[in-house]
Structure formats: structure tokens, C-alpha cells
Structure 1
């Protein structure tokens, strides 16, 4: 079997293979970047589900996007596995690439909204029977998130070549994955039996701690990098929005874990601690939301500057969606907790902007897929040239 695979890989690298086998060439050039589109689509249906106002067809639209996102994620997962099996020689260059490898974090983060969707859309139709499925998928997602959050930085420290002037917010992607799993844990906790809810909330805080402090250390470095070396190249301009992601997800994790903790730990020795967690969640959520507001303002100003220079489309544009979406959800969550109407109005404005951005990015992605422009793996350019 190994001999056959090696022979196939050698033939795949031969000139003319792409023209003769276009679909296999797409698999060979499939990159983890594609999972960012599942993150962006996933956050859109979660925002639709969290809107404080309702419109006709809202649930049907959110449900449709959830189903479409399931198809996308599993299609991409199969393509990525196919690249691993059919073209194993391409995996090492991907792992050593200082940008492509960071997008491994989008694989578990793209799965997380689908798990939330099970609680939101499947449970009303199938009842508690979906709990085991959701819990199993969450466990897989959490383990994968931890593996990426540890494994990718390890390769970064030992194998990859980085320079301070080339550092961008893409470095956040593998680190943020555990805190996304933490917010999913808090969502599932409210739908699970009390013993399971306690486990999910406790695990959620551990996952949050694995991610958020490290993410803020990267944000500090990024601030200094922007001061010294200014904005990254326009091809990576959309990555400036990624700074909003760990802040919004971190705030959402504190809020939702804290809100669910009192019910889960009622009548236990940790009941008073759970009450403190709820109150600290509100305070911490508000503080992180304020930090996120500053980074959001910076991100908007950066995009306006990039537009003057010319801002070509690439798959990195999906960075406009998930960070903004999670910041929108935390804004709505703060509205429900504090009842401050300003959060509702701002959240609705952010949701509208997210909808426009998703339509723009999705339409441009479909256009480039049709034109065959986006199936290029930067980590393989030297191999292709050879």
C-alpha cells in the first residue's frame, strides 16, 4: 500500500498531472484556510439565533445555513484527509509554513458552531437523544483544539522560520481554538444533565485559561510590531481583524460559563464559587468587550487605509466574519444580562454589518472557485516549481 501511495504521489508531481487530473490537483492544493469559511458561516447562523428581534423566515434561514455549514465542514475534512493520504509528502511543507500551519486552528473552530447548532436546531426535533452526539463531538473538538494549541506553537518554536516584521494576527489562530471550545461547552451545559453540565463548565474554564492569557500575550506583541513595522502587506490585511476574535470569544466564555455555573453547582460545595463566577463573568465580559471595541475601531481604520492602496480578495477575507460575529454575540449577551439598550442597538448594527460582509466574502469565494483561482497551496510553490 505504501509503495502504491508513493508511486501515486510521484506521478502527481509530474508535469501535466494537474491538467489530466484537475480534481486530484485541487485535493493536493487544499489548505486549512478553507475551514475559515465554515467558521464565518457558522457564526452567521449563531448570530441569527441570538438576535433579540425576530423576522419572518429567521429560523429557517439559520437552519439552512447550519445544514450547509455541516456539508461544507465535512467536505473540507474529507478533502484534507485525502491530501494527507494521497499526497503525504505535502504535509511537512504545510506544517513548516509559517502562515499555512496557523490555519490548522480553524479546523476545530469551524466544528464548534456545528455543535452549538445541534443544541439549537436538532434538540427541539429529536429531544435528549442528540445529547450524546453533541457531547461526543465536543470532546473531539476540545481534544483537537488542545492538540493544535500545543502542537502548532511547538513546531513554530522548533522548525519554522519567523521574523518580527512578518508577524501578523494569524499567529492567534491555533491559540484561540481552546477558548472557542470553552464557549461551546457553556452552550451545551444548559442543555445537559446537571452532572454533565458541571463537567462541561469546569472543562470550559480550563480551556479558557489555556487560550486567553496566551492570546493576550500575542496581542501585546502585535501592538509592538504595528508600532515598529506598521501594517502588514495588503495580502494579509484582513488578518488585522483576527485580533477581535480572542477578545470576543474570551468575553463570551466568561459570561456564558458564569451564567450557567450557579444552576449547575447549586447544592454543592462550589455553590458560592459559582455565584462569584457569575458576577465576575459580567465584570470581565464588560471589560473585555471594551478592549474589543478599541481593536474593532483599529480594524475598521486599517481596512479603510488598505482600500486606498488596493485590497485584492483572497481566502483571508473570511477573517472579516467570525471575529465580528463573536463580538456581536457577546454584545447581545451583555444586553440580556445588563438590559442596557445601547448593547441591543449596537449589536443590531454589528449583525447587519456581519450579514453584508458574509454575502460579499461568500460571493467572491464562489466566484473564484468557479474561476479556479483559489486552489493554490503557498507551501507547495517551491515543490511545484521543482
Structure 2
């Protein structure tokens, strides 16, 4: 199987201090750049947002969170330039991704990484720039929603028409293009209440509900197949171990989406003459969010056990390790959101613990990624090997 396992075997020449030692030339950074790098912006962005919601008062923590958000903007911009350059200068190689059964899934990382930046404009930008930050967030959100919907439709269509897949080779990366729409939906729930115009609020809210519906039911059906695949064909290889956490992503994001949309709905519906539906939306959001949170707990426990099993057998580093960060982060944020809606202190404690775990994982994965990028090990495009 080609995929993230192709990223796990650094050549011997890479073990020096010379930058990009494993690459034939610096141009290879562009030629080999793939969208799975955007998973780093997902992990960094969700850490910034989670730290900003940490339930305990820690001096300087909000400043650290804001700094991470600003750093993530720069990171997203750099990755966008590199990937755009690949399409300009290495078009024939870049288009090979459409036929690759794993790398094409990572298109979903691009809108999901952008969504964390959009949310950051609301969490960090509004205190500095006021309504201007909301306008920027709104414009970026519509771009993000369009990209997310495109990924959620185009990538599955390519799966159905031009790619080769089998159940025994299936992993949770199938979820990545699908989940992007519900991430945009959760962002829309946060954005809607900041808009000044009541009609615009309603448009964003209803669009967000539709995006949620385009993603969550499909993701749940993929999870059913994933459980069957692991029961029949057992665990994926160690190089794909981080993918076990990806299953937590759509569950946690689905819960967070219901919670934030349900919280925003009553005021927005009332402002648009639809007050009869506000209480129902809030109730569905809370109950649905709790149910999905419980389902997520099962997947988090299972992913932890799978990770422990792989650690005992040896776990090679690759960019797939960023798959540990975003699911843990969004589950932490959903947990902290529940702590603000329910008088149950345990949610705040669990949420705080998850944020600490997320920060530790981010430090480890970030350090390993910097090391691999410096050496050039991580600039590998499996779709080029497949085409060769």
C-alpha cells in the first residue's frame, strides 16, 4: 500500500545536519510538497483555540494562544505558496494526486486548517480590530465552506471513478475530505452570532446546518465500515497508526457543531421571526452534542489502546503523526463547551486534561516535523512514486 507509510522511511543520507540533505536539490521541496502538510496547520490552530478556552487562569496563556494563532497564519500562508508553486512549476506531477488513493484524501486538510484561522479571528482578532475582524472572518468562512463542500463531493467521486480501493486497505483517512464540511459548520455557528445583520446571521446558520448534514451522516457510515474492516482485517500497519485517532475527529466536530449551532440558533431565529424553532434547536444541540461526546469517548479509548499497541511494536515517525493533534483538540474544545452549558464540573476537568495532552503531543510532533523538514526526509510525494 502506498500512502503515509511511504513517508516513514528516511534515507541514511539524511542523518547529518546539512539542510535538505536527503533531497537532490531545494526544488524538490516544491516538487514533493503534498497537502498532508496542512495537517500541521490543523493541529497548531486547534491548540491555539483550545488554550484560549483553558478553564483555569494561567498568566500569559492567552498571549501564547494568540501567538500560536498568528504563527499558524504564517504557516498556512507558507504551505499555500509551496503547494501553489508545485501546481505552477510541476503541474504534471501535481495532478497525479487525483489518482492516488491516500494522498488525495488530504485535500480536506486545507479547508480544515483555514477554519482554525477563521475561528481565531473571532477569538483573538475581535478584541484588537473589532468589526473588521468579523468581516475578514466572514469572507474567509465562505471561501472555507466552498472548499470544504468541494472536497466532500469531488474526492469521494474520484474514489468511485478513478482510484483503486479495497476494504482491507481502508483506514480512517477516508474521513478527511468528508469531515471538512462539518468543521466549516462549527465555524459558521461561531461566526453567525458575531454578524450585525439578522438576515446574514440566518443565512450563515442555515448554511452551517446544511454543511453539518453533508458531513456527519456520511462520516458515521464510514466509521461503520471502518469497524468492520478492523474486526475482519485487524489493525492498519504502524506507519498508519495515527489514523486511528482520525475517527474521533468527525464525532467531536459533529458534537461541537451541534452545540455551537444550538447555542446561536434561538437569538437568530427570533430575530428573523422564527422564534418557535429556537428552543428546539438549542435542545437538539445539547442532547445531540452529549450523545456524540459519549460516542467520541469510546473512540478515544479505542485509539489510545491501538496507539499503545503500536508503541510496543515500534512507531515510525511521519507526517501522519499530526493526525493525533486535531481530533484530540476538537474533542477537548467540545468537552470545554459542554462544561459551559452543563453544571457538571467533570467536563471542565476532562477538557483541561485533554488540552494539556494536546499541548504535549503538539510539542513532540512539532519538534519531529522540524527535524524531518530540515533534513528533507518529509518531502516525499507518494503519488510521484506511483506514477514512476
TM-score in terms of structure 2 length: 0.92
Q: Which residue of 2 aligns with 1:222?
A: 226
Superposed displacement of residue 268, structure 1: 3.7
Determine the C-alpha separation between the residues in 2 that align with 1:357 and 1:95: 31
Unmatched 5+ stretches in structure 1: 1-17
Q: Are positions 1:27 and 2:30 aligned together?
A: yes
The SS at the match of 2:194 is coil
Superposed displacement of residue 19, structure 1: 9.1
Determine the C-alpha separation between the residues in 1 that align with 2:26 and 2:217: 42
Determine the C-alpha separation between the residues in 1 that align with 2:94 and 2:281: 42
CA pair 273-234 structure 1, distance change in 2 beyond 3 A: same
1:120 is aligned, of 123, 126, 137, to: 123
1:335 is aligned, of 314, 325, 339, to: 339
Q: Are positions 1:185 and 2:181 aligned together?
A: no
The SS at the match of 2:316 is coil
Say how many residue pairs are matched. 367
Root mean square deviation, CA, Å: 1.3
Instruction: Check conservation: 2:23, 2:376, Cα contact below 8 A.
Output: no
The SS at the match of 1:22 is coil
Determine the C-alpha separation between the residues in 2 that align with 1:169 and 1:91: 23
CA pair 20-120 structure 1, distance change in 2 beyond 3 A: closer
TM-score in terms of structure 1 length: 0.93
Determine the C-alpha separation between the residues in 1 that align with 2:149 and 2:209: 13
Determine the C-alpha separation between the residues in 2 that align with 1:25 and 1:116: 33
Q: Are positions 1:160 and 2:163 aligned together?
A: yes
Q: Deviations over 1:115-162 (max 9, x none)?
A: 111111111111112222111110000001011100000011000011
Q: Are positions 1:294 and 2:314 aligned together?
A: no
Superposed displacement of residue 92, structure 1: 2.7
The SS at the match of 2:317 is coil
Q: Which residues in structure 2 correspond to 1:25-174 (within 5 Å)?
A: 25-174=28-177
Structure whose residues are more often helix by fraction: 1
Q: Are positions 1:210 and 2:203 aligned together?
A: no
2:256 is aligned, of 230, 252, 274, to: 252
Superposed displacement of residue 67, structure 1: 0.7
Q: Are positions 1:375 and 2:375 aligned together?
A: no
Q: Which residues in structure 2 correspond to 1:312-323 (within 5 Å)?
A: 312-323=316-327
Unmatched 5+ stretches in structure 2: 1-20
- Greater displacement, 31-40 / 53-62: 53-62
Q: Deviations over 1:77-103 (max 9, x none)?
A: 111111111111012321111000000
